[in-house]
């Protein structure tokens, strides 16, 4: 029998279907005890509170406070598809199937089976009020400003990193209270964005052209998750005009900032990059996890993307790529509109105007919720550094395997006493990190052991590669067609081989991947849906994108010439 992971959830029989869809891009890695206790549990409460505000929640939905919407199985975070479907079941004019398409995209989940308690007249009326308000949106909703204010206020409360261990630890433990409301804002904007975009998606389906949804949900402008690429692109343009800085990049990004420090010819670059870190340094891979890397504590992550941009010979400007975005959007709308009745046409037109604001709000509230993590990550890493000087483990991820409520304080006092505990938990963490969790779990019996996951991973590695002429089908993400060599990248820190004009093929993407989108000709990811990060950013940067192409990183040969059709959702192998 396998050793149990340090945290395991229980599948709620009332809401049995769980999925890695959508959540895989924000929690791509194995979750630590620190991230679970301080982050996930508070996020679950905030999610339920947000759904109460919107009217989706109905009394009696949950029998306890234990996490259900955000499940944890086999080391990985899952979203509860059974419960999130209630957003479609209870929203007037929507459906469980619409939620599946918008949020989860990939695979064939068990069909929705109506049960007593799913429908709620009270919820439907409250959601209708929410929808009517959302369709009347003509500017960014107030929760965006509230999210920015909360992030700034919490950062201002952070003690100096010279403060005592106890002061830093006390601040660390305040995180759930600060994080909950900010995450709740994000869940509200996400739910409304899905409802508004669902109206457009349903209209395209009614017109018999579901693919037009990628045109209608085109670039929204001023989306926070795309801003990182815009800012880095401007720095890359400047670097191209600075021979000394370019020469330093040619030597590699490791130690680059140290090599440039004090050099007069590098002052402009260092100032620009410093401003980038000040504005966006809170982001990074797996950035909901409190022990994770960020662009601030691991600047090489951003420097790698910058390096890929600076060597591109073609124009990477998103503005020029988006020149015909409005025209395509209006043409798509004109195609869909004649197929709608009077009331649907009216709601369609309102949704078309409101959707850009809710798309911006969704990404802005997510960014600010992650921004609240920044001072906590700074404080936590300082505590890890101090403990390492006293004989503790220097790896923030390893130390995060301790329970912050019952073990972390004792560890800081006597780090050596936890050496064996961290070694045992770390070994199991590494095993889970090397496997891919199942996309769907439909019962407690479906939760795999680490041995079962390892056997599945071995079988996946033996999957035959695609051959020239094969057409691989995923889901349409961002419109357009592009050709290029496929470059398999499993971690944004390992993108050294990604050449400008190549097709980025990744398991999934989060904001740490965003700057790599610009030099890429197109993006293909294993998982994703219409409201996933890869699609939203690809639209803002005007590059073709295909999501939910299951096993893309395993079946597409690295270096093969491929054609990506972001409107059809296909990848065609042209030559090996």
State mean pLDDT over 420-427: 95
In a domain, 443, yes or no: no
* Stronger pLDDT, 539 or 395, i.e. the higher one: 395
Q: Is 76 helix (H, G, I), strand (E, B) or coil?
A: strand
Distances in whole angstroms, Cα of residue 284 to Cα of each of 106, 356, 484, 511: 25, 25, 27, 6
Whether residue 14 is contained in a domain is answered as: no
Which is more confident, 150 or 541?
Answer: 150
75 within some domain: no
The reply to whether 506 falls in a domain is yes
Residue 481 lies in a domain: yes
* Mean pLDDT calculated for residue range 122-138: 91
Look at residue 304 and tell me if it is in a domain.
yes
Q: What's the mean pLDDT when you consider all of the chain?
A: 88
pLDDT at 105 over 70: no
What DSSP string describes 18-53? Answer: EE-TTGGGTS-SPPPHHIIIIIIHHHHHHHHHHHHH
Q: 310-343, pLDDT tens digit by residue?
A: 887 656 565 665 556 677 788 889 999 999 998 8
pLDDT band at 1 (very low <50, low <70, confident <90, very high): very low
Cβ atoms of 366 and 378 within 8 Å: the answer is no
Of 359, 390, 407, the one marking the end of a domain is 407
Q: What is the pLDDT of residue 512?
A: 73
For the segment 366-402, what is each residue's pLDDT rounded down to a tens digit?
999 999 999 999 999 999 999 999 999 999 999 999 9
DSSP string, 400-421: TTS-TTTTHHHHHH-GGGGHHH
Domain boundary among 357, 381, 407: 407
Query: Do 92 and 202 fall into the same domain?
Result: yes
Q: Is residue 419 part of a domain?
A: no
SS (H, E, C) 451-517: HHHHHHHHHHHCCCCCCCCCEEECEEEECCEEEEEEEECCCHHHCCCCCCCCEEEECCCCHHHHHHH
- Tens digit of pLDDT for each residue in 43-73? 999 999 999 999 999 988 999 999 999 999 9
Q: Do 294 and 373 have their domain in common?
A: no
Which one is predicted more confidently, 461 or 410?
A: 410
Residue 155 in any domain: the answer is yes
Residue 206 has a pLDDT of 87
Average pLDDT score over residue span 557-574? 94
Assess whether 298 and 368 both reside in one domain: no
Shared domain check, 382 and 259: no
pLDDT digits (tens, 9 = 90+) for 501-520: 899 999 877 767 777 888 88
pLDDT at residue 26 greater than cutoff 80: no
Mean pLDDT of 286-292: 92
User: Based on the domain organization, do 482 and 529 belong to the same domain?
Assistant: yes
Does residue 496 sit in the same domain as residue 558? yes
Residues 308 and 352 in one domain: no
Same domain, 163 and 294: no
Confidence of residue 92 (pLDDT cuts 50, 70, 90): confident
Average pLDDT over residues 133-154: 94
SS3 assignment, position 162 = coil
Residue 494, domain CATH: 3.50.30.10
Residue 40 shares a structural domain with residue 128: yes
Q: How many domains does the chain have?
A: 3
Task: Read off the pLDDT of residues 433-492 as tens digits, 9 standing for 90 and up.
Answer: 999 888 889 999 999 999 999 998 888 777 889 999 999 998 888 888 999 999 999 888
Q: Which residues of 133-171 are buried (b: 16+ CB within 10 A; e: fewer)?
A: ebbebeebbebbeebbebbeebbeebeeeeeeeeebbeb
Q: Are residues 249 and 380 in the same domain?
A: no
Give the lowest-confidence range in 42-56, 94-108, 178-192, 266-280.
94-108
What is the extent of the structural domain holding 274? 227-314
More confident residue, 540 or 204: 204
Poorest-pLDDT segment among 248-252, 299-303, 537-541:
537-541
Mean pLDDT of 123-136: 91
Mean pLDDT of 516-527: 87
Residues 18, 82: Cα–Cα separation, whole Å: 7
d(CA 558, CA 495): 13
Q: Judge if 93 and 187 occupy the same domain.
A: yes
Confidence (pLDDT) at 195: 82
Structural tokens at position 58:
């109905």
Looking at residue 99, its pLDDT comes to 80
More confident residue, 190 or 169: 169
Same domain, yes or no: 361 and 394: yes
| CA distances in angstroms from 312 to 250, 505, 542, listed in the order given | 14, 18, 17
The pTM score is 0.86
């Amino acid at each position: 029998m396998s050793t149990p992971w340090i945290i395991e959830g229980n599948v709620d029989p009332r809401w049995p279907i769980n999925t890695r869809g959508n959540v895989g891009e924000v929690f791509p890695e194995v979750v630590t005890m620190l991230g679970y206790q301080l982050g996930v549990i508070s996020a679950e409460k905030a999610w339920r509170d947000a759904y109460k505000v919107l009217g989706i929640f109905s009394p009696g939905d949950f029998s306890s406070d234990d996490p259900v919407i955000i499940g944890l199985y086999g080391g990985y975070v899952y979203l509860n598809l059974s419960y999130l479907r209630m957003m479609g079941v209870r929203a007037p004019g929507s459906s469980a199937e619409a939620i599946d398409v918008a949020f989860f995209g990939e695979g064939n989940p068990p069909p929705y089976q109506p049960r007593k308690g799913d429908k709620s007249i009270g919820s439907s009326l409250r959601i209708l009020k929410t929808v009517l308000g959302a369709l009347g949106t003509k500017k960014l909703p107030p929760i965006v400003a509230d999210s920015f204010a909360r992030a700034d206020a919490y950062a201002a409360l952070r003690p100096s990193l010279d403060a005592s261990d106890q002061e830093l630890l006390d601040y660390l433990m305040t995180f759930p209270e600060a994080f909950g409301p900010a995450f709740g804002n994000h869940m509200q904007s996400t739910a409304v964005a899905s409802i508004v975009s669902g109206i457009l998606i349903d209209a395209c389906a009614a017109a018999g052209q579901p693919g037009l949804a990628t045109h209608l949900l085109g670039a929204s402008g001023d989306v926070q998750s795309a801003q990182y690429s815009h800012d880095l692109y401007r720095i890359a343009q400047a670097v191209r005009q600075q021979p000394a800085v370019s020469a330093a990049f040619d030597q590699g990004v490791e130690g680059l900032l140290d090599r440039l420090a004090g050099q007069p010819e590098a002052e402009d670059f260092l100032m620009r990059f410093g401003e980038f870190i000040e504005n966006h340094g809170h982001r990074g891979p797996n950035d909901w996890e409190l022990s994770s890397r960020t662009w601030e504590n691991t600047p090489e992550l951003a420097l790698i993307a910058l390096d890929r941009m600076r060597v591109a010979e073609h124009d990477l400007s998103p503005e020029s790529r988006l020149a015909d975005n409005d025209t395509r959007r209006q043409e798509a709308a004109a195609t869909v509109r004649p197929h709608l009745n009077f009331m649907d046409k009216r709601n369609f037109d309102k949704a078309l105007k409101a959707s850009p604001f809710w798309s911006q709000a969704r990404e802005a509230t997510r960014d600010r919720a992650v921004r609240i993590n920044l001072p906590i990550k700074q404080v936590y890493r300082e505590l890890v550094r101090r403990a390492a000087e006293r004989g503790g483990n220097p790896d923030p991820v390893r130390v995060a395997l301790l329970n912050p409520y019952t073990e972390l304080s004792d560890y800081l006092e006597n780090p050596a006493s936890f050496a064996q505990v961290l070694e045992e938990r770390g070994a199991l963490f590494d095993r889970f990190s090397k496997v891919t969790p199942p996309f769907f779990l439909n019962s407690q019996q479906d939760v795999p052991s680490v041995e079962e996951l390892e056997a599945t991973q071995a079988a996946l590695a033996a999957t035959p590669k695609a051959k020239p002429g094969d057409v691989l089908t995923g889901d349409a993400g961002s419109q357009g067609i592009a050709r290029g060599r496929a470059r398999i990248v499993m971690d944004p820190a390992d993108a050294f081989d990604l050449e400008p004009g190549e097709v980025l093929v990744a398991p999934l993407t989060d904001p740490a991947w965003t700057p790599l989108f610009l030099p890429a000709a197109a993006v293909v990811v294993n998982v994703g849906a219409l409201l996933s990060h890869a699609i939203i950013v690809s639209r803002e940067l005007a590059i073709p994108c295909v999501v939910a192409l299951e096993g893309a990183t395993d079946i597409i040969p690295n270096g093969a010439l491929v054609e990506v059709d972001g409107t059809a959702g296909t990848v065609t192998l042209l030559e090996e």
